[in-house]
Amino acid sequence: MQFSNVAERREQPPALAVSTVIFSLRDDERTGRKSLWLPLVRRTREPFRGQWALPGGPLGPRDSLFDAAANNLRDTTGLIPRYLEQLYAFGDLDRSPTRRVVSVVYWALVREDDPHDTATSVLLDDSNVAWFRADDPEVLGNLAFDHRQIIEYALWRLRNKVEYGSIAHRLLGERFTLAQVREVYEAVLDKELDPANFRRTLRSTPDIEETDEFLAGGKHRPPRLYRYTGSTTHPLESENIS
Amino acid sequence: MQFSNVAERREQPPALAVSTVIFSLRDDERTGRKSLWLPLVRRTREPFRGQWALPGGPLGPRDSLFDAAANNLRDTTGLIPRYLEQLYAFGDLDRSPTRRVVSVVYWALVREDDPHDTATSVLLDDSNVAWFRADDPEVLGNLAFDHRQIIEYALWRLRNKVEYGSIAHRLLGERFTLAQVREVYEAVLDKELDPANFRRTLRSTPDIEETDEFLAGGKHRPPRLYRYTGSTTHPLESENIS
DNA sequence: CGAATAGTGTCTCTCAGACACTATACT
DNA sequence: AGTATAGTGTCTGAGAGACACTATTCG
């Protein structure tokens, strides 16, 4: 769509876009602990050409908001959503220097070993997609649009949500040890937790069930593997496909 | 804007609207307790002509989302926002039978005695605006669009938020007794609370400060009046003007 | 065996809820 | 005085955190 002049453009209705903040857990070589990472996409057009931005794009007429966010996820990571929830709608007048855009932002949690959609996996080599530490100030400081504030808000929500419960397992595999869950909490909350008390707290929730399997291979007593037997919160707060 | 045929309309970009769920506390003559009420607007055009709907309308090119919600509030109640927060963006394909609409919904808390904007107070006589009990199934069952689900979600959020704290005073005046705060909690949570324990809990929060005044007039010992000395949560979660 | 983590027992402190009790206004 | 609500004191049980201790596997 083209506009003949600035005044006319200004009176166009606001455009609607959907972006997605995608979190995953990776080993941090520097600290040795796990930490949160997220993929960004390099912009190939103005405005902010060459800078990193959240995956996203305009809302197609046949996509629900959720579908659009799921497409963001698929196109940048090749993954199917396991956890995908609406974060916030950002609509300030000056978010974009060129035209008025309202962005509905979702946030996702994925695991490294989630099954890839092979049809789109060719995109994963794309040099215009890269993963960064979610709290790297160098990266956050140079993002396009207001994406820095969006990511910081997503991190805030994640931290609040993880305390509230039942989020951590989304970043893990089907079966997991309680120590792995603790590592997730420690990465997200950025503090150490007492293994004994953490274990007891987790065991007291009905959502986590023990299996008969153990994880061998460490140089210590093999830990038992557990499984998540999910419960739902409010329907809108968990449109996720499990 | 007109469309020559259905196919063309279907490919138009989704329209963007802002609606607002406005809660207030009123005496319920039937139960004698306080309960939650909200204003609705009768639709004067198709679709859903004649049915009740949430106050709202299309997003103007010069309004931020927050401004648009504040305008909804002013136009239906004449009130300035004291608490106004984004609730959710609703974007399913079939929300409206005529065209694709994405609605960003806000929710507001107001007091009966909030100052009115006199310039718009003429609208308050409008027979197309009326207040209803927020949990009246008769009303909820006949709303336009998906507004029933929206209101139920807003109620859910309110209940969760009020437990989390610091919301109740928004429905009250500048100075209030602890029993009034308890009435708010009881109305929102729809259960009775122990006055002694509730009092102790509230006093232990730093956000509520006692004044030197007492509320006379009841046929009992006059209760002390308190004042709220607010704290902020996350900026995005409280864009409210206090 | 020692190292390392898994997993248990137990003490303490804090806080929510139940509820008896005292205080002070009104009629 | 009687009533109604304000406001205090105190007991109990559940849960969070500190931390000592036992269990089991690997090298």
Q: Which secondary structure element, helix H or strand E, spans residue A226, and what is its range?
A: strand A224-228
Asked if pLDDT for residue B116 goes beyond 90, the answer is no
CB-CB: which of A13, A86, A89 is closest to B61? A13
Q: Residue B38 in 3-state DSSP?
A: strand
Instruction: Nearest chain B residue to A235 by CA: give it.
Output: B153
Residues of chain B found within 8 Å of residue A94, distances taken between Cβ atoms: none
Task: Give the pLDDT confidence score for residue B206 in this predicted structure.
Answer: 86
Find the CB nearest B64 among A62, A64, A92. A92
**Higher per-residue confidence, B173 vs A53:** A53
Q: Tell me what pLDDT residue B62 has.
A: 92
Give the DSSP per-residue string, A102-161: EEEEEEEE--TTSPB-GGGGGGGG-TTEEEEETT-HHHHTTBSTTHHHHHHHHHHHHHHH
Angle made by CA atoms A166, A78, B92, in degrees to the nearest 5 = 65
| Confidence label for A27 from pLDDT (cuts 50, 70 and 90) | confident
Question: pLDDT tens, B183-232?
Answer: 999 999 989 999 999 999 999 988 899 999 999 988 889 999 999 987 55
* HSE-up of residue B197 (Cα within 13 Å, Cβ side): 3
Alpha helices in chain B (DSSP H): 6-10, 65-77, 137-140, 147-164, 178-189, 195-204
Which nucleotide is nearest to B222 if distance is taken from CA to C1'?
C25
- pLDDT tens, position by position, A99-129: 999 999 999 999 876 555 555 545 555 679 9
Q: What is the DSSP string of A68-97?
A: HHHHHHHHHH-BPPSEEEEEEEE--TTSSS
Task: Read off the pLDDT of each residue in B32-56 and give the average, rounded to a whole number.
Answer: 93
Q: Are B16 and B59 in contact (CB under 8 A)?
A: yes
Report the alpha-carbon angle B107-B209-B188, nearest 5: 35
Interatomic distance B212 CA / D3 C1' (Å): 26
Dump pLDDT digits (tens) for A115-169: 555 555 455 556 799 999 999 999 999 999 999 999 999 999 998 887 666 788 8
Query: CA of B228 and C1' of D9: distance in angstroms?
Result: 27
Q: Out of A61, A91, A156, whose CB is closest to B12?
A: A61
Other CB atoms within 10 Å distance of the CB of residue A101: 17
Average pLDDT of the residues in B75-88: 91
- Percentage of chain A beyond pLDDT 90 is 62
For range A50-64, the mean pLDDT:
96
Residue B3 in contact with residue B9, Cβ under 8 Å?
A: yes
**Whether B13 and A15 lie within 8 Å, measured CB to CB:** yes
CA of B176 to C1' of C24 (A): 19
Q: What is the mean pLDDT of residues B128-136?
A: 92
**Interchain pair B61, A89: CB under 8 A:** no
What are the structure tokens assigned to B198, written together?
């509730």
Band the pLDDT of A236: cuts 50, 70, 90: low
What pLDDT sits at residue B117?
53
Question: Which nucleotides along chain D are within 7 A of a protein C-beta?
Answer: 2-10, 15-20, 23-27
State the nearest residue by CA to the C1' of C18.
Answer: B194
Alpha-carbon gap, residue A24 to A171, rounded angstroms:
6
Cβ-in-10-Å burial (0-12, 13-18, 19+) of A51 comes to middle
pLDDT, average across residues A203-212:
90
pLDDT exceeds 90 at position A182: yes
Chain A environment of B153 (Cβ under 8 Å): 234, 236
Percent of chain A with pLDDT over 70: 82
Residues with Cβ within 8 Å of residue B60, at least 6 apart in sequence: B68
The tokens describing A189, both together, are: 């909350």
The whole-chain average pLDDT of chain B stands at 86
B108 close to B22: Cβ distance less than 8 angstroms:
yes
Any idea of the CA torsion for B104, B110, B116, B122, to the nearest 10 degrees? 60
Give dist(CA B46, CA B102) in Å, integer: 17
Averaged over B83-89, what is the pLDDT?
A: 96
Once rounded to an integer, what is the mean pLDDT over residues A11-37? 87
What DSSP letter does each residue of A154-179 carry, written as one string? HHHHHHHHHHHSS-GGGGS-SEE-HH
